[in-house]
Amino acid sequence: MSQVLTVDARGLACPQPVLETKKLLDQSLDKPFAVLVDNVNSRENVARFAGSQGCRVEVHDREGYFEILVEPSAQAAKAEIPPELLVCDTAAAPADARIVVYVGNDCMGRGDDVLGTMLMRGFLRTWIDVKPQPWRMIFINSGVRLTTMDDEAVDALSLLAERGVEILSCGTCLKHFNLEDKLKVGKVTNMFEVIETLTQAGKVVSPD
């Protein structure tokens, strides 16, 4: 099993490593493949999911990461991922996997709002290609316009959400701007969850 397809899921926010594993199994691969992860929670969830699909699983502890070898079975079931395997244990994740992006404005920088809007869209799109990806992205004040009114921003954030990044918009801010019924991506949050997220973060990044 030395020459196998390898999926590098290191740095991907939970539950993305499990989703990547399911994607490969759904492709009806008949050859072994390997999934690389960098935390215990992802290691356990990927191994348990592959095993639940009738696959033979080997887990190897490498230096600084885990290699999960998966050998698909011809009788492997294509069931949905059990909800418990989509649960992310933030305490088990390394600090770098708990990056929080804190957005307090719909523009990036000061001086020209048109330019600021373009820069902010580019900032959000760039996160799609960055590893490790954020754990959560918080939008407050006019930043909630990016999760409601700005279609280009919504498209980028929707892709990040599909990859396991939690998108959180301030409920008080949505109400202030009369955007409560216009949220297009993510979920509504409150100040308690904002503070909880910031205190659990390994790193906070802000474009302001």
Question: Could you tell me the pLDDT band of residue 202, with boundaries at 50, 70 and 90?
Answer: confident
Top-confidence range, 35-44, 77-86, 147-156 = 147-156
38 vs 64: CA distance, rounded Å: 7
Instruction: Encode pLDDT of 92-136 as tens digits.
Output: 555 555 889 999 999 999 889 999 999 999 999 999 988 788 889
Residues 6+ apart with CB under 8 A from 63: none
pLDDT of residue 50: 87
What mean pLDDT value characterizes the chain?
85
**What's the average model confidence in pLDDT over 83-96?**
54
Domains and CATH numbers, the chain: 5-86 (3.30.110.40), 98-205 (3.40.1260.10)
Between the CA of residue 3 and those of 27, 34, 68, 76, what are the distances in Å? 19, 10, 14, 22
Judged against a pLDDT cut of 80, whether residue 66 lies above it is answered with yes
pLDDT of residue 93: 52
Identify which of 33, 42, 99, 94 has the alpha carbon closest to the alpha carbon of residue 66: 42
Indicate the residue type of 182.
Answer: K
pLDDT of residue 84: 55
